[in-house]
Amino acid sequence: MLRVLGRVCAGLLIALAFALPAAAQSKPDPQNTLYLDTPYGRVVIALRPDLAPKHVERLKQLTREGFYNNVPFHRVIDGFMAQTGDGQRGDGTGGSKYPNLPAEFSNVPFKRGVVGMARASNPNSANSQFFIMLDETPSLNGQYTVVGDVVSGMEYIDKIKKGSAASNGSVANPDRIVKMQVAADVK
């Protein structure tokens, strides 16, 4: 009995030794984490500079400038995505004062919680607007730039007011980003 218990304890110690480095690596990087506060609660987004360094840098730059504070979720389609980031006009037709970005497409699939950059028909037209996937949409794969993943708070994104199908998801009296911050800047 003692031998069996000893083997079990040794096995647990070995498993723990391998699990600790993996847990340490998964600790969020505050320089690449966004806090997006909605009227319903905080959404935490882990940015992916390994996939889209220019787009991630733009999101952090605009966030630090306060560009996204009080910006509406102007286009929200149930079962698809919630789009925001038009701090210029608030209706989905604006961008920022900075030039558009070249596409940084990857093979990461657009599934629930993935954050992507919105753009016009030109693949190199992303600027400030982004969207959060409410469900998997394979038709977007390789067509839009993935910039991150929601790591907590999807339940708050699910509560964002939806637009109608007749209006292509445009939302009357939309919910807004209360505040968006880079985690490293939060005191």
DSSP sequence for 56-113: HHHHHHHHHTTTTTT-B--EEETTTEEEE--TTTSSSS---SSPPB-----S----TT
- Per-residue pLDDT at 16: 45
Q: Is residue 16 part of a domain?
A: no
- Per-residue pLDDT at 7: 53
Q: Is residue 166 part of a domain?
A: yes
Q: Is residue 6 part of a domain?
A: no
How far is residue 101's CA from residue 150's CA, in Å, rounded to a whole number? Answer: 22
Number of domains, the chain:
1
What CATH number is associated with residue 137?
2.40.100.10
Q: Which two tokens stand for residue 91?
A: 């209706």
Q: Is residue 175 part of a domain?
A: yes
187 residues of the chain, pLDDT tens digit each = 445 444 544 454 444 444 444 444 467 899 999 999 999 999 999 999 999 999 999 999 999 999 999 999 999 999 999 999 999 999 999 999 999 999 999 999 999 999 999 999 999 999 999 999 999 999 999 999 999 999 999 999 999 999 987 889 999 999 999 999 999 999 8
Name the nearest CA neighbour of 28 among 133, 150, 155: 150
* Distances from the Cα of 65 to the Cα of 141, 147, 159, 185, angstroms: 30, 19, 27, 12
Query: Where in the sequence is the domain holding 36, given as residue range(s)?
Result: 28-185
Q: Containing H/E element for 38?
A: none
Q: Is residue 52 part of a domain?
A: yes
pTM of the model: 0.86
